Structure 1
Amino acid sequence: MTRLLTLIAAALPLLAATGPAASAASAPARPYVPAGVKAGYVVLDRQTGRITSQRDAHRRFRSASVVKIMIAIDYLESHPSVPRDDLALLGKMLRVSDDDAATSFWTRGGRGRIVERTVRRLRLTDTAPPPADKPGFWGYTSISAADIALTYRYLLDRASPRVRDLVLGHLRNAGQCGSDGFDQFFGIPRAVPRPWAVKQGWSGYGSTPPARCRPTAAPSGPASGSVPDAPEQAATPPAGQGVPAPAAPARSGSASVVAAGPVPDLGHPVLHTTGLVGPGERWIMVLLTAHPSGTTWSRSTAQTTTLAKQVYLSGTS
């Protein structure tokens, strides 16, 4: 397992150099990215340890709620014993993407220090905390498809069973309706047959759902139509910095923390769909997208779901 992780970690930094020709050789058809849309994606076959589909895997996007996976990992690895109230908050944050729960853990964990610890522990290369003038905005964390693929790989192969089972257990049971009434079944949940475990992210579409979420039967395969969702921008955090959780011990060869820079694609809505897909959760699939300013929610979700289907087929066929 250690050798497999090493191979995967070595493969991901090379993605940018493989180029379209290498991807075309291993995929039945290259997914079509609509004009004006920026996309970074990775499909990783856990059985072979090979990257089976990729595009701009190291391009940075603002994280929106995808960073909640890192927040959960950092909290659990810093707290051997978790109070019952925090267990409930973790469930809300991961299953129904509750922003208040994320802000609570973010503030108590030291805000950007959470990201810095995660970068070192998981050996990420593209992830960076929010800018210094936006410390409370966890959704402004910079991520890449390659780093999120490594985050899932960490959960599967390196995290303790306690951390792995709690985080992935919630992602396997992600609710269709977010805690604020938005529907978060777009991308993977609408494009890929079950089983899957997902964490979604979105930002820049306003704060009011176009329609109240009403749960439907769990999709068993691709579905047509768009699905509304909620903006994943952190609310202004409570006053105070909170008590930072202890940092993980330094590891030889661990990654250096990337300095925070400008927020990626600020002013452009982003929509992300990430998770484990296929029988036995064989594939890790990460699709991050940024859309032209002013793009409606229905158009963004429709485009992202269509692209997710193509990415899935290109990486698993």
Structure 2
Amino acid sequence: MRRLHAAVAALLLVGVTAGSAAADARAQRPPQAAAAAVQVPAGVTAGAAVFDRQTGTFTEQLNTSARFRSASVVKLLLALDFLWNRGPDYTVPAADRALLEKMLRGSDDDAADHYWSTYGGSAIINRMVSRLGLSDTAPPPTEYAGYWGYTALSARDTVTIYRYLLDSAPGPVRDFVMDNLRKSTRCASDHFDQHFGIAGAFEKPWAVKQGWSGSSYPEGTCGAGGAAATASSAPAPGPAAAASVDLTRPALHSTGTVGAGDRYVVAVLTLHPVGTSYGKAYTDIGRLTRSLNVPGAARPTGWWYGTWSDHVNVRPNPSTANARITQLPAGVEVLIGCQKRGEEVEVPPYTNDWWAYLPQYGGWISNIYVSSPDNRIPDVKDC
């Protein structure tokens, strides 16, 4: 274990904890054909479904009825409940439009608190279960009635929610919700990077509503500035609640649509071992989602590599002189499009003047933080 010395830390604005730069080196080209089965990383519990709206069939199903705590995916139901029976000519009031946009694009928790407390809390879930014919969805346990993120949800119910939204909801409701999901921001309101899963596995067009929850996710550092935040959590659940839906293990969910005309509805719900870092969970749900059978969906090209160190800055150019665009979740796997020489970076005993371009971030990181044994990553093309 090495530590970044103070001078370099000040120069690069990265965290002090570090791992071996050569450890756990992985480079895999993006799949050119869909995998035969869902690849679930070790230790991960998952439910997944892919529904092709064009053929009316599922192309992927894994534990589709398994219940997970919804985390922020329940915000879809909060929005639909508020918009229910508003009529084809309904115009969302400006105050609600602002709240709903923050909730759907940036997964804002304060907005969710408002709709939960104002419109009946658990009664919202009961209404939407009846309206949409959901099979596995249920309100939070009685002792946690105030925690909307403890709503139970399954992959198949998530598909049902999106199918209603796309195929049955009034046009203005469909357009309002889906347009906001298409404008999902990389940095959520709580400074967590929310472009994992679907947003990383497929090229646009996509629309996503993500969810994350767990004490293992102590710090959100996404964005060019601002204070770090802690992932939403709640008091430790009692044994009765835990027996119904796991409220303990860190959750990370990716849901939405992929392809022109929102052809595919994709739902990936995951739980990770207690103590799993956000970067590790982010990487694992990314690998799982990339393995899904989504025929014809456009996948990003490049090379997937692990990173090391905390708070690695993504820069607009291959130089530390530029203000950062954002910071990576610690240890996350990233897609590298190409590499070139830039400013020399020093993390004793290493120096490196090669930088990797991350197309999904629109910026650069020093190769010194890429888990590769060489300064120049062997199989990545030059820019």
Q: For this structure pair, what is the TM-score category when the shorter chain's length is used for normalisation? A: 0.7 to 0.9
Q: 1:229 and 1:184, CA in 2 relative to 1: closer, same or farther beyond 3 A?
A: farther
TM-score (norm 1): 0.75
Alignment match of 1:308 (pick from 289, 310, 315)? 289
Question: Number of aligned pairs?
Answer: 253
* Aligned counterparts of 2:94 and 2:81: Cα–Cα separation in 1: 17
Query: Cα offset for 1:142?
Result: 0.1
Deviation string 1:39-72 (CA, Å, 9 cap, x unpaired) is 0000000100001111000000000000000000
Alignment match of 1:282 (pick from 231, 250, 263)? 263
* Aligned counterparts of 1:204 and 1:305: Cα–Cα separation in 2: 18
Alignment match of 1:64 (pick from 71, 91, 101)? 71
Q: 1:196 and 1:232, CA in 2 relative to 1: closer, same or farther beyond 3 A?
A: farther
2:59 is matched with: 52
**Does the aligned pair in 2 maintain the 1:190–1:305 contact within 8 Å?**
yes
TM-score (norm 2): 0.62
* Aligned counterparts of 1:170 and 1:107: Cα–Cα separation in 2: 23
Q: 1:141 and 1:274, CA in 2 relative to 1: closer, same or farther beyond 3 A?
A: same
For 2:149, the aligned partner's letter is G
* Aligned counterparts of 2:234 and 2:179: Cα–Cα separation in 1: 24
1:138 is matched with: 148
Larger radius of gyration: 2
For 1:315, the aligned partner's letter is V
1:10-25 → structure 2 map (5 Å cutoff): none
Q: 1:229 and 1:305, CA in 2 relative to 1: closer, same or farther beyond 3 A?
A: farther
1:166-245 → structure 2 map (5 Å cutoff): 166-205=176-215, 208-214=218-224, 231-233=231-233
Alignment match of 1:124 (pick from 120, 134, 147)? 134
* Aligned counterparts of 2:56 and 2:271: Cα–Cα separation in 1: 28
Query: Cα offset for 1:280?
Result: 2.5
1:107 is matched with: 117
Q: Tell me the SS of whatever aligns to 2:253.
A: strand
Q: 1:198 and 1:282, CA in 2 relative to 1: closer, same or farther beyond 3 A?
A: same
Q: Tell me the SS of whatever aligns to 1:266.
A: coil
Higher mean C-alpha deviation, range 179-188 or range 61-70? 179-188
Query: Cα offset for 1:163?
Result: 1.1
**Does the aligned pair in 1 maintain the 2:198–2:286 contact within 8 Å?**
yes
Query: Cα offset for 1:232?
Result: 4.0
* Aligned counterparts of 1:28 and 1:306: Cα–Cα separation in 2: 11
**Does the aligned pair in 2 maintain the 1:62–1:265 contact within 8 Å?**
yes
* Aligned counterparts of 2:143 and 2:209: Cα–Cα separation in 1: 27
2:252 is matched with: 271
Normalized per residue, the structure richer in helix is 1
Query: Cα offset for 1:210?
Result: 4.8
* Aligned counterparts of 1:233 and 1:116: Cα–Cα separation in 2: 23
Query: Cα offset for 1:316?
Result: 1.9
Q: Tell me the SS of whatever aligns to 2:189.
A: coil
Normalized per residue, the structure richer in strand is 2
Q: 1:56 and 1:211, CA in 2 relative to 1: closer, same or farther beyond 3 A?
A: same
Flag structure 1 segments of 5+ consecutive residues without an equivalent: 1-26, 216-227, 236-259
Percent of counterpart pairs with the same letter? Answer: 47
CA RMSD between the two structures: 2.3
Q: Tell me the SS of whatever aligns to 2:144.
A: coil
**Does the aligned pair in 2 maintain the 1:205–1:297 contact within 8 Å?**
no
Deviation string 1:192-221 (CA, Å, 9 cap, x unpaired) is 111100000000045753533249xxxxxx
Q: 1:28 and 1:207, CA in 2 relative to 1: closer, same or farther beyond 3 A?
A: closer
